[in-house]
Amino acid sequence: MRTGEPLPAVGEVLAALATGLWHWNTATGLVTVDSEAARLLGLPPEQATLSQAQVRSRLHPVDWNEISGVIQLAVAEGTLGEARVRIMDERGRVIRVGRSRFHASFDRDKRSYEVTGSLQEVTEPAPGTSAGRTAVTGDWRRSREAFLLDAGRALAEARSTAEVLRVAAGLSMPGFSPDGLAVFGVTGDRLTIIGHHGHQPGDEGPFTHMALETDYPAAEVVRTGRAVYLSSPEKYKDRYPVTWPLAAPFNRQSWAFLPLTVAGRTMGAWMAAFTYPVAFTPDERSVLTTVARMLAQALSRAEATESARELTDGLQRSMLPKLGPEIPGMSVAARYVPTGGGLQVGGDWYDMIPLPSGRFALVIGDVQGHDVRAAGLMGQLRIALRAYASEGHRPDAVLSRASRFLHGMTLGSLDDDPSELRFATCLYVEVDPTTGLLDIARAGHPDPAIRMSDGTVLSRPTAGGLPLGIDPDADYPTTRITLEPGETMLICTDGLIETGGHDLETGWKRIRTILEDHDGDLEELADGLVQAVHGPSSHHTTGPLADRREDDIAVLLLRRLGDGRDGGSAHGHGTAAVPLTIRRTMLSVAQAEPERVAVARQQLRELLHDWACDDQVDSAVLLLSETLTNVLVHTDADALVLAEVRGEPGGRRLRVEVTDSSDDLPHKRRPGELASSGRGLLLIELLAQAWGVDPRGEGKSTWFELYESVDGSDVA
């Protein structure tokens, strides 16, 4: 070209360089191509206006998706975009590889992109060469996609900030992996270091509490919300001369600072530093941007989880009591484990209440539900129970008043939402530490269990009423039992029993085994119960917590110390009591409750669970049934059963006493062959080693004894 001649048209120059032009408006969905771009796409070499579908059919599906992501990245960073694409024919075969560079803008009103770019053909590297693992080959794309899937899965599963940082530190990016990472947060107008990897302890000092106005890459990223890429120390020094001396000692060659953005808010910045030069191609920037987005989401979730956990901890500390002062002759231990998920709050609770009489009360309960409302009702109900108990009311009166209180609280919400009606189960035990007497009132709650001094475990059936809040006029009868020296009472919510697919029966068998096998102090027993049901756990407030649970649980254990031989304190931090050679159970059977005869039989079988001769156990159960039935049929009085086992295994004695308030003494009769009754005393005389009837002032006691026989030879 001679001097002074006009320059050729841009289109002529581009055609000479085999470079086409194209323009895409996503609002209209139309793509305009010049003749060279049309030729490269395998179309007739003439200017044309195509639909997105027509252009998409000419590009490899993976590359089309790639272009969409690069356009968004270019707009976000305010840079030119670049992508390599495989161009296909009508049969889906790759006919050439092209490279496109483009400028994109975003119209916020129309929510659309306008993109103008160039397209030219490039030479595809030969398979198997080192250049074969470039950004356009399937190997690099597949490894990048696999990396992003793995990284997304790992970050999604991270449940705390520490776990998120550990995952980020372990990410191995395809083809380029940073050896130094740092996550910056924002507190007020200053940067903070949330965590870092690849640095020595103390290296973060100069960057902690740095003002956001500082000329530092992470501060600029937080201010602007746009990424900063520094591919060499020279670029870092030229752009940030003030803070370059802080970065120079780490001997890194390239840096990427990306915004951590969630819901349009920049919550911090992520730094990836490299010991080798990185060009930060569009593909590499795309990977880093995607990881930064996932990292921001993971940190946001972790922050929300930790805030919720902190709220949960505060709620639990305010709602759950301490066990109070030491109680002479008694040991108490408790555990509360909230359900997994959500705020980890629920309706289970326990309490220990000093009473005006010098006694104390143990309370355990479960408000329906595992949500914040259940926790709120639990807190109010616990306060109400404390107030009624502190007024000196008996257990039945305390539960009656609590039921009316809960019914009144939930009744008003029914007009707005009938599902808001809530009820609560509860067990209230008034304890006399001097005598071991326990007065128990129960509202739809599981019965207590007693572990005797020799390890025998019995469930203690108690009279009960409806759950609290259902009927404001419900009655709650009281059952009295005695906790003997060396014995332990367990009361718990159903979460301890029914976890792991168990029902009340199979779950109780599991808990019973744990109680029988335990050999340690009360605190160890409480830990053992929770850990055996829910697996390894960490301590939290008053006891261990598992990370994932099906239901809340609350556990209370009360042990009566045995004649100073325990060596433990009032809260159970000592050795277990020396086993005694006596076990005892007591049960009342009212005239209006003949079904409790079956309960008494079951209690006796459990008392004799390790008796040497099964025939003797059957005989004892039969004689108890006959004696109880005699009281219920031939008198108008209620019966009290006391069964006691004394001695060492192999030579023990069973004594069963049935006491009633009637003065009518039983007498033997000679029933006819077809008679349906009259054989009770005959059976006692035949099967028992000893028996008798003793007057007791007002009433009498009918008793019998059996002596343990290993082979059954002493059975009468």
Query: How confident is the model over 36-46, as pLDDT tens digits?
Result: 899 999 899 89
Lowest mean pLDDT among 287-296, 506-515, 533-542: 533-542
Predicted model pTM: 0.56
> Which of the residue ranges 163-167, 399-403, 608-612 would you say has the lowest mean pLDDT?
163-167
What SS3 state is found at 45?
A: coil
pLDDT in tens, 574-598: 434 444 457 888 888 888 888 889 9
State pLDDT tens for residues 82-94: 888 888 888 878 8
State the SS3 of 428-450. Answer: EEEECCCCCEEEEEEECCCCCEE
Give CA–CA dist 165/298, Å, rounded: 10
Q: Could you give the 3-state DSSP secondary structure of residue 421?
A: coil
- Mean pLDDT for the stretch of residues 49-78: 82
- The DSSP annotation for 346-381 comes to -SEEEEEEE-TTS-EEEEEEEES-SSHHHHHHHHHH
Answer whether 270's CB lies under 8 Å from 292's CB: yes
Q: Can you tell me the mean pLDDT for 698-713?
A: 82
The answer, yes or no, to whether residue 143 has pLDDT greater than 80, is no
Kindly state the average pLDDT of the residues 698-706: 90
Region 376-385 average pLDDT: 86
Distance CA 673, CA 656 (A): 29
Confidence of residue 6 (pLDDT cuts 50, 70, 90): low
Instruction: State pLDDT tens for residues 344-373.
Output: 556 788 999 999 888 999 999 988 776 667
Residue 92 Ramachandran class (φ > 0 left, ψ -120 to 50 alpha, else beta): left
Angle among Cα 432, 435, 437 to the nearest 5 degrees reads: 55
pLDDT at 127: 41
Residue 63 has pLDDT above 50, yes or no: yes
User: What whole-number percentage of the chain has pLDDT above 90?
Assistant: 24
> Strand pairing of 553-560 and 330-337?
antiparallel
Look at residue 656 in the predicted model and tell me its pLDDT.
Answer: 94
Mean pLDDT of the chain: 80
First to last CA, the chain: 133
CA distance 478 to 481: 10
CA pair distance 178, 527, nearest whole angstrom: 45
Best mean pLDDT range from 131-135, 313-317, 653-657: 653-657
Q: Is the pLDDT of residue 7 over 70?
A: no
pLDDT of residue 698: 81
Alpha-carbon distance of 494 to 444, in angstroms, equals 11
Region class of 647: left (phi > 0), else alpha (psi between -120 and 50), else beta: left
State the average pLDDT over residues 523-536: 77
Whether residue 28 is predicted with pLDDT greater than 60 in this model: the reply is yes
pLDDT of residue 710: 63
Would you say residue 533 has pLDDT above 70? no
Task: Taking residues 304-328, report their average pLDDT.
Answer: 69
Are the CB atoms for 589 and 600 separated by under 8 Å?
yes
Shortest CA distance to 260 belongs to which of 352, 165, 341, 357? 165
323 compared with 646, residue with greater pLDDT: 646
Task: Summarize pLDDT for 630-684 with one digit per residue, the tens.
Answer: 888 888 888 889 999 988 888 899 999 999 988 777 655 555 444 444 566 788 8
**For position 131, what pLDDT does the model report?**
39
